[in-house]
């Protein structure tokens, strides 16, 4: 497939270019740069956990998620650096250095970076179209592309901070960068921008019932939305922080970034509910209570609903109950996705769908063996392991950021 060779070639060429870029700061500041890679590598972990759990019905193949991340980290970084510099210079030459200083990052950054990241989602869609089954899938791959670039951009900013500090191979500027760009600016940065753009790619790929122009229009609209969010984020608007110093700057971050993050999460929620309803209808059409019960159908579109059923199983049969309930839900999801791919010529189940149906029945028998009948618990959702991990990460790094801000203020 041509896109595979395009991807391979670009990854090779851009990896060499990126290696050349990082070799110099690595040679000058080995301790600081190693710290930057480790810190921002760890920083990416909760983002990845959150992103892969966005689509709980159909987990994306790890190899494709890794490819999306690598596109962002390697291809986008290696090509955006010369593109950004050139675009910023052109603005300075065609308008003025002062205009470029104020508006260059807002105009050049989104134009170059959002385009390159968007192409990464397109490459994934061309490479494995069968894996892009929903708008949520597009958001997941978009978020991974954005995260890859966000991590490498933060590493490059850390290198620049170390150089600007003029104190040699010290790690303090790395942690300052982590607080400023990772924690305070990170939650509403490239990951969110490209998730929005990816939603458009997801729509364009799956809504084959719409005209090509309509699908291209929605994809373009989503890319435009991502560009606009990035533009506003980079713009000098409210740069003064209302004259309130650090608290004012933090307030501006929230004002500029909060709505973007809210928009992305709301879009993801709506798309997920729609996807869940779609797959629930696919399963309901089987009209087989051994495959799925009405209660399970109701829970299919909700992460909380699924967790509620698992916790009910846990309450009655411990960890084995929880695992058996999870196996059933995962098997039902796989069956629903397979059913959505179509049927045999005579309307029957494909071989893959039949295999997944047997998988569901085996999971159902495992539950029954534990004495668990059809699920109907109303036990309140108490959170999944992933959510606890993310919560712990936010708490620890939030406390760290707050402590450093207070220290800077006093």
Partner 1 sequence: MGVPHGGLHRNAACSLAILAVIATISLGLPALDRAFPGERAVASGVVYAVTDGVTVVPPAGARLDVSQTRPGRDSGYAMFLVGRVRFAILVTPDRITTAAAADRLRTRLRDGLGASTTGAESPTPSGALTGRFHAGADGGWYAVRVLGSTTVVDATASGPPDELARWLPAIEAAAASIARAA
Instruction: Yes or no: say if 308 and 379 are a contact pair by the CB < 8 Å rule.
Output: yes
**Closest to 122 (Cα-Cα) out of 68, 62, 191, 193:** 68
The residue among 209 and 346 lying less far from partner 1, judged by its C-beta, is: 209
Instruction: Return the number of the residue (160 or 368) whose C-beta is nearest partner 1.
Output: 160
Measured distance CA(222)–CA(229) in Å, rounded = 11
Q: Do residues 234 and 105 make contact, with C-beta atoms less than 8 angstroms apart?
A: yes
Q: How many Cβ atoms sit within 10 Å of the Cβ of residue 315?
A: 12
Cβ at position 394, least distance to partner 1 in Å: 31
Cβ distance to partner 1 smaller for residue 171 or 387: 171
Distance CA 240, CA 237 (A): 8
Q: Alpha-carbon distance 132 to 267, whole Å?
A: 17
126 class by beta-carbon count within 10 Å (0-12 exposed, 13-18 middle, 19+ buried): middle
3-class DSSP state for residue 56?
Answer: coil
Nearer to partner 1, 86 or 402 (CB): 86
Q: Give the shortest CB-3-to-partner 1 separation in angstroms.
A: 5
Q: CB of 93: closest distance to partner 1 in angstroms? A: 5
Encode 17-27: b = buried (16+ Cβ within 10 Å), e = exposed: bbeebbeebbe
Report the nearest approach of partner 1 to the CB of residue 235 (Å). 14
Residue with smaller CB distance to partner 1, 2 or 371: 2
Closest by CA to 69, choosing from 6, 142, 128, 1, is 142
- CB 15 to partner 1: min, Å: 14
Q: Which is nearer to partner 1, 129 or 406 (CB)?
A: 129
Number of CB atoms found within 10 A of residue 350's CB: 14
Quick one: CA dihedral 183, 187, 193, 197, positive or negative? positive
Compare residues 49 and 171 and give the one whose CB is closer to partner 1: 171
Nearer to partner 1, 103 or 393 (CB): 103
- Tell me the closest approach of the beta carbon of residue 92 to partner 1, in angstroms: 5
Residue 173 Cβ vs partner 1, minimum distance, rounded to whole Å: 12
- What's the min distance (Å) between Cβ of 224 and partner 1? 16
Tokens, residue 104: 């260059």
Residue 129 or 369 having the CB closest to partner 1: 129
Footprint of partner 1 (CB under 8 A): 1-3, 5-6, 10, 28-29, 75, 78-80, 82-83, 85-87, 89-90, 92-94, 96-98, 100-102, 104, 112, 115-116, 119, 122-123, 125-126, 129-130, 132-134, 163-168, 205-209, 239, 275, 278, 340-342
| Shortest separation between residue 28's beta carbon and partner 1, angstroms | 5
DSSP tag of 380: P
**Can you spell out the DSSP letters for 92-114?**
HHHT-HHHHHHHHHHHHHHHHHH
């Amino acid at each position: 497939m041509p896109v595979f060779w395009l991807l391979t070639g670009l990854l090779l060429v851009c990896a060499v270019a990126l290696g050349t870029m990082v070799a110099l700061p690595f040679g000058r500041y080995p301790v600081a740069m190693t710290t930057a890679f480790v810190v921002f590598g760890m920083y990416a972990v909760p983002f990845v956990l959150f992103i892969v759990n966005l689509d709980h019905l159909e987990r994306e193949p790890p190899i494709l998620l890794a490819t999306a991340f690598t596109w962002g980290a390697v291809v986008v970084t290696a090509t955006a650096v010369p593109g950004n510099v050139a675009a910023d210079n052109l603005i300075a030459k065609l308008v003025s250095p002062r205009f470029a200083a104020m508006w260059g990052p807002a105009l050049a950054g989104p134009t170059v970076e959002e385009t390159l990241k968007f192409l990464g989602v397109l490459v994934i869609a061309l490479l494995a179209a069968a894996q892009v089954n929903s708008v949520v899938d597009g958001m997941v791959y978009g978020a991974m592309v954005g995260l890859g670039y966000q991590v490498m951009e933060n590493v490059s900013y850390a290198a620049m901070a170390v150089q600007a500090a003029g104190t040699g191979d010290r790690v303090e500027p790395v942690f300052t960068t982590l607080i400023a760009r990772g924690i305070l600016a990170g939650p509403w940065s490239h990951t969110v921008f490209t998730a929005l753009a990816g939603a458009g790619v997801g729509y364009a790929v799956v809504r084959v019932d719409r005209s090509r122009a309509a699908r291209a229009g929605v994809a373009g609209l989503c890319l435009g939305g991502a560009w606009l969010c990035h533009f506003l984020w980079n713009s000098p608007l409210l740069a003064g922080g209302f004259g309130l110093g650090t608290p004012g700057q933090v307030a501006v971050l929230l004002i500029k970034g909060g709505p973007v993050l809210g928009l992305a999460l709301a879009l993801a929620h709506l798309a997920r509910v729609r996807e869940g309803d779609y797959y629930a209808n696919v399963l309901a059409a089987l009209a087989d209570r051994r495959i799925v019960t009405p209660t399970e159908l109701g829970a299919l579109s909700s992460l909380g609903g699924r967790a509620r059923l698992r916790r009910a199983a846990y309450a009655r049969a411990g960890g084995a109950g929880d695992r058996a309930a999870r196996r059933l839900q995962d098997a039902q999801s796989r069956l629903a996705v397979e059913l959505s791919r179509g049927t045999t010529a005579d309307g029957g189940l494909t071989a893959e769908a039949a295999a997944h149906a047997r998988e569901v029945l085996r999971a159902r028998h495992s539950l029954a063996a534990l004495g668990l009948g059809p699920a109907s618990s109303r036990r309140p959702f108490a959170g999944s392991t992933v959510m606890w991990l993310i919560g712990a990460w936010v708490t620890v790094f939030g406390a760290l950021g707050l402590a450093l801000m207070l220290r800077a203020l006093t």
